[in-house]
Homo-oligomer: A and B are copies of this chain.
Amino acid sequence: MALRGVLRAGEVAIRVMDMKAARQHYGDRMGLHEMMTDDTGRVYYKAWDEHDHHSIVLREADSPGMDYFAFKVFDDATLTTLEQKLEAFGLQVERIEAGVYPKSGRRIQFVLPSGHTMQLYAHKEQVGNTLGLVNPGVVPDEGVIRGFRINRLDHLLLGGGHLDENVRLFTEVFDFDLGEKLVDHESGASLAVFLSCSTKPHDIAFVLQPQQNKFHHVSFLLESAHDVIKAADMIGKYRIPVDVGPNRHGVTRGATIYFFDPSGNRNEVFAEGYVHYPDTPTLVWDTRELGQATFSQDNTPRESFLTVLT
């Protein structure tokens, strides 16, 4: 009870086509901290205020997109319980031994109705946020917060089919809430669903796509809308391709800018947004207000939002 069970998106594994360019993007420019390279060439990053060893894994590949994502759960017993619930839900669950993924305890892995590979794990090596645990103070040394001033991995948005099945899985098995959804005004069909396991307005979201297992974006939490503007300044400085923004989402009320990594994977920096609780009623947007739902400061839907995924 309280915040228990599934805690947060803890790891996203992204395919990039040029690791050198990707390291410049995620490390030098965005300012994530490079933590290690493994013997397969994968590069691991964390945001400064995360305590766990890493949250982003880059793998060089022939096409962009996402290999898998993983949520951290409260403890090992939760993993055991969720394995049973997932199988009862009808999913095939694969067990992965501790250590197969670096710095990580055992995991379970399964495929969502939308085609995405999802993992759960309860343990990852903790390295802290540089402030220490005794009399930590509030400000890390100069240089620790850098680039886009990213605090944490925040959420991800994925594209595929069977959104309502995904919602059923996340709410029934994982106890997420459906915070918001976007529906077709005519048919009532779900076009996008936004799910929360915390007080954040969303921890994961899905958008309807003709293809399974597509990657829309990974989002990073900044401290304030002020920092979204500052990140946008650096995006402009480095000529990073911008998809949309700065703007505000109607869904979540978060301040946002969407941009692309050198391989075409969409990134977001995000701040603010309301405080969500399980007793907050689900907010429903329909296609009459697609502009407001997606980009509320100019009410202009972008075609790329629904069509450009990796």
Please report A residues at the B interface, Cβ cutoff 8 Å: 1-8, 49, 51-52, 72, 74, 78, 126, 128, 133-139, 142, 146-147, 151-152, 174-177, 196-200, 221, 223-226, 229, 232-237, 239, 242, 246-248, 250, 253, 255, 257, 272, 274-275, 277-286, 288-289, 292-293, 296-300
Contact = CB atoms under 8 A, between A and B. Distances in A.
B246 A2 contact: no
A257 B225 CA distance: 15
B232 A51 contact: no
Contact of A292 (B142, B198, B236, B300): B236
How many chain copies? 4
A3 B229 contact: no
Contact of A137 (B74, B78, B225, B292): B292
Contacts of A297: 232-233, 235-236, 242, 246, 257
B236 A78 contact: no
B1 A274 contact: no
Given A3-B278, A242-B298, 13 more contacts: A1-B175, A51-B280, A135-B250, A135-B286, A135-B293, A139-B234, A139-B236, A139-B237, A142-B146, A198-B198, A224-B224, A224-B225, A235-B297
- 7 tightest CB-CB pairs across the interface, nearest first? A1-B5, A2-B197, A242-B298, A232-B297, A2-B175, A135-B289, A236-B297
Contacts of A197: 2-3
Given A248-B232, A250-B137, A272 B223 contact: yes
6 contacts: A1-B4, A3-B196, A7-B279, A224-B225, A229-B255, A233-B248
A292 to B, nearest CB: 6
A57 B239 CA distance: 38
A123 to B, nearest CB: 9
A224 to B, nearest CB: 5
Contacts of A196: 2-3
A296 B78 contact: no
